[in-house]
Amino acid sequence: MSCLDQLHPESGDRLIKAINYSNGCRPFMMNYLKDGACSLSNNLSENSIRPLVVGRKNWLFCDTPAGADASMKIYSMIETAKANELDPLKYLSFLLEHRPDAEMSDGELEQFAPWSKLAQETCK
């Protein structure tokens, strides 16, 4: 039984809503306790997309769904390279030089992932 289960406020709509919200989130918050590798916060994810949100007006040239899709693929590759401690420019150059494609097997594509040994050696 948690501290929230013991609270029974008689007034204060906001307090009641906060308690109910917390109790509703409990199953999801308990996942953190199941695996110590889980992050309690999503700050890393939020911080990685912040440049995209701040620069939103700069990307008005993405006036088609295909243009927006292409831009987001590039941004995803850049942020994934950063998350794996690679130089984003070197990683993009690495991908353009080797040109992985959908015809490759999963094993062949795996060598181009930012966490692969080849990418780590080439793009640091």
State both tokens at 92: 């993009």
pLDDT at 85: 93
Q: Is residue 22 a contact partner of residue 30, using CB atoms and an 8 Å limit?
A: no
Count the Cβ atoms, other than its own, within 10 Å of residue 81: 21
Residue 16: pLDDT over 90: no
Beta strands in 15-96 (DSSP E): none
| Separation of CA 24 from chain center | 24
Residue with tokens 């701040």: 54
SS3 87: coil
Mean pLDDT taken over the chain: 81
Q: Which helix (H) or strand (E) holds 120?
A: helix 117-123
Check the CA dihedral 109-114-116-120 and report its sign. positive
pLDDT in tens, 56-111: 666 666 777 888 788 888 888 898 999 999 999 999 999 999 888 888 888 888 89
Residue 119: pLDDT over 80: yes
